[in-house]
Structure 1
Amino acid sequence: MTTKNEKLRWLILCAMFAAITAVLAQMEIPLPLVPISGQTLAVGLAATILGSRYGAMSMVCYVLLGAVGLPVFAEMKGGAGVLVGPTGGYIFGFILAAFFTGYILEKTSFTLKWAMFANTVGMIITLVMGTVQLKFVMDMTWADALKFGVYPFIVVGLIKAFLASWIGITVRRRLKQANLLQVKGDVAA
């Protein structure tokens, strides 16, 4: 395969994961300040399947789509106002979470055990970034920011980390077997 075709394939995969994130963002459980949505599951899937560089790139694409006003964020919201609002830190956190989740897997191995660890780290990154912005935008105490921005998401976050790990590793293996995902120097099991 030529380098041009390879780059196109990666760009298509990034766009697909940005779209998957937009779709999963609409699957939510409303809470007072920050809803529980499927976005973080999509972040974990993107990172586990695509790795650090392209997982993060897919989240950059997702954030940019929302920033220009497309209704890709939770509750069919879009626009720069969402990014500077109470939930914006979580959304920006998706980029770093995808990068570090993929990075951990690239430096260890693409196995369920390491994927679970990496996706848990990604969840923590998202929660930390989201809670910091929530605290300052809503002028909350740290205790209230944790109460509304972290505690409701821990159990659900761990479940999503497991699902992203299990589904992501399975899909990654199948894509590699079908020669649809070619990664140089991959340490995948």
Structure 2
Amino acid sequence: MKSRQLTKIAICIALLCVSAYISFPLPFTPAMVTAMTIVINMIAFTLTPKEAFITVGIYLLMGSIGLPVFGGGASGIGKILGPTGGYYFGFWIAPVVMSIVKGKGVSFKRYLVVTIFVGLTIIYALGAIFMSYYQQVSMGTVVMSAIVPFIPGDLIKSVASVYISMALKRALPTLREAC
């Protein structure tokens, strides 16, 4: 890898770590509201699929070995293999798929559609599957407690992340060449 790629990956890992600390719990679900969705979307739109995979993979490895980088400063393999672990796997898969389907040109509408209908769908689906299994509740219960309350905030975060990603691509021509 070139030093430019490594630098982009390192910056994105640092942003993921910081965004996990911008969080607050909701009393009715083990899932937390975090700023991670914004950074995950930015990763998808500014990195290649391979870079996105490596970035989130390193982040998950850091948290798994005990560094307090997960939501609210949590860490450990139990966090990934617990009720909210599906969200973390969604955070790993979603930016890779989004980076693949985002297209070559920069388009606000296309990026927003990809964010909402591809990224959030992957994150919600994996999060719901894990939570339903670990909490031993129906998918309907999980959808009502761990997805529906997050939709308005995630839509706002999606719009913000698309604006930020587009601004980054305009401001840094090297990103355009790399993606």
Deviation at 1:34, TM superposition (A): 0.6
Does the alignment pair 1:12 with 2:12? Answer: no
CA contact (8 A) 1:15 1:61 kept: no
In 2, Cα distance between the equivalents of 1:119 and 1:56? 16
Identity %: 27
The letter of the residue matching 1:79 is G
TM-score (norm 2): 0.92
Residue 53 and residue 45 in structure 1: after superposition, are their counterparts in 2 closer, same or farther (change >3 A)?
Answer: same
Aligned-residue CA RMSD (Å): 1.5
Q: State the Cα deviation string for residues 24-53 of structure 1 (Å, max 9, x = none).
A: 111113113111101111100111111322
Equivalents in 1 of 2:94, 2:53: separation in Å?
A: 8
Report the equivalent of 2:112. Answer: 116
Q: Say whether the 8 Å CA contact 1:102–1:118 is kept in structure 2.
A: no
Query: For 1:73-152, what aligned pairs fall within 5 Å after superposition?
Result: 73-105=70-102, 107=103, 109-120=105-116, 121-152=118-149
Aligned residue-pair number: 176
How far, CA to CA, are the matches of 1:144 and 1:115 in structure 2? 30
Tell me the residue number matched to 1:169: 166
Unaligned runs of 5+ in 2: none
Unaligned runs of 5+ in 1: none
Misfit runs of 4+, over 6 Å: none
TM-score, scaled to structure 1: 0.87
